[in-house]
Amino acid sequence: MNPINIRAAIVGSTGYGGVELIRLLQSHPYVTVTSVISSSNAGSPIAQGFPHLTEIRTDLLDGVDVELIKSKAEVVFLATPHGISMKLAPEFLAAGLKVIDLSGDYRLKSGDTYREWYKHEPAPQADVERAIYGLAEIYGKHVSGADFISNPGCYSTATLLGLYPAVQAGWIKPDSIIIDAKSAVSGAGRGLNLSSHYSEINENFKAYKLNKHQHTPEIEQVLSEAAGFPVITTFTTHLVPMTRGIMCTMYATLTDKRTTADFVELYQQFYEGRRFVRVRPSGIWPATKEVWGTNYCDIGFSVDERTGRITFISVIDNLVKGAAGQAIQNLNLAMDWDETLGLQFTPVYP
């Protein structure tokens, strides 16, 4: 494998996550997308379904032919739904490719938990244990050199980057955590559904999957590790009438009297040197547009002396830091490259 000339394949390239991988990898200096695999538009040029990609001349392959892909790529991104990834990943790993899976199939260490929340049989436990959970700013050093990376969920990324340092430091009570999450509609994917139908969503705000969202156990798994004991949380998801962006507003009770400035300092130290987390000063909270189109996660705080609680605000672009961007960041970390390669965008404003 030539360390500065890697060929990548993308499976599931006609969903929003797959198309975003194509966009971002166009600007990666060391990676070339050589093949994209899609069951729905196979055989036609990518630009037919995605006219904004007129310049892209990559092969569009029909069906997953591991031998063929092996001849064209050293790394494969699985932008496939859960249940599908668990069928493909072992084949690619066996063929010697590096695999970065964007689905939920390898995020949960417990098969029982997976079965309960995903309503689907889990992947074999040995495969699950082999996968490195790629929450880049927290588990980056485990990712270094890894062959098989499970990319975190979009909500989980925003939540965990926002809460991990405070939980690990013991500054908040883990059992008091309440996460009120809001997502743009692209998070629901490109598949047709009345709940993504324009006239149903525009000028509308709705809650969904209360106390049932499958990112809940993923969040709890990591927070439990940070706390050192089992943590359960309340996690609620909403749909915002916009295309990109997630905000998580998170509430917790303080363990001791601390100020907003204390939290700012704790987080600045925790994330020192990590380019993609930006901590806002006291009294300023990030909006989703401030990270739009980029791999940033911006975080702000508000301690309330009256109630003894703190509110955390974290924002990401769900398709970048919440999916394709963090997947590329994980490839960079796995290859021991600068983690920002291919991801050096300034947010699009306005």
Q: Which residues are catalytic?
A: 154
Q: Which two tokens stand for residue 175?
A: 């059992």
Angle between helices 111-118 and 216-227 (to 10 degrees): 140
Task: Pick the stretch among 78-86, 101-109, 200-208, 321-329 that binds a copy of itself (CB under 8 A).
Answer: 200-208
Decide: is 194 part of the binding site for a copy of itself (CB under 8 A): yes
**Helical ranges in 98-185 per DSSP H:** 111-118, 125-130, 136-143, 154-169
Decide: is 52 part of the binding site for a copy of itself (CB under 8 A): yes
Task: Pick the stretch among 73-81, 101-109, 156-164, 243-251 that binds a copy of itself (CB under 8 A).
Answer: 243-251
Pairwise CA distance, residues 330 & 328, whole Å? 5
3-state secondary structure of 123: coil
Q: Can you tell me which of 180, 224, 255, 268 binds a copy of itself, judged by CB under 8 A?
A: 180
Query: Please, is 112 exposed, middle or buried when counting C-beta atoms within 10 Å of its C-beta (0-12, 13-18, 19+)?
Result: exposed
Binding residues among 314-343 for a copy of itself as defined by CB under 8 A: 315
- CB 32, CB 5: distance < 8 Å: yes
Task: Pick the stretch among 2-10, 62-70, 89-97, 189-197 that binds a copy of itself (CB under 8 A).
Answer: 189-197
CB of 115 to a copy of itself, least distance (A): 16
Decide: is 197 part of the binding site for a copy of itself (CB under 8 A): yes
Binding residues among 69-128 for a copy of itself as defined by CB under 8 A: none
Size of the site for a copy of itself (CB under 8 A): 80
CB closer to a copy of itself, 71 vs 204: 204
Decide: is 46 part of the binding site for a copy of itself (CB under 8 A): no
Residues in CB range of 183: below 8 A, 6 or more apart = 154, 155, 237, 238, 239, 240, 245, 246, 318
Q: Can you tell me which of 271, 285, 326, 335 binds a copy of itself, judged by CB under 8 A?
A: 285
Decide: is 258 part of the binding site for a copy of itself (CB under 8 A): no
Least Cα distance to 225 among 117, 146, 133, 299 occurs for 133
Angle between helices 325-334 and 16-25 (to 10 degrees): 50
CB of 332 to a copy of itself, least distance (A): 18
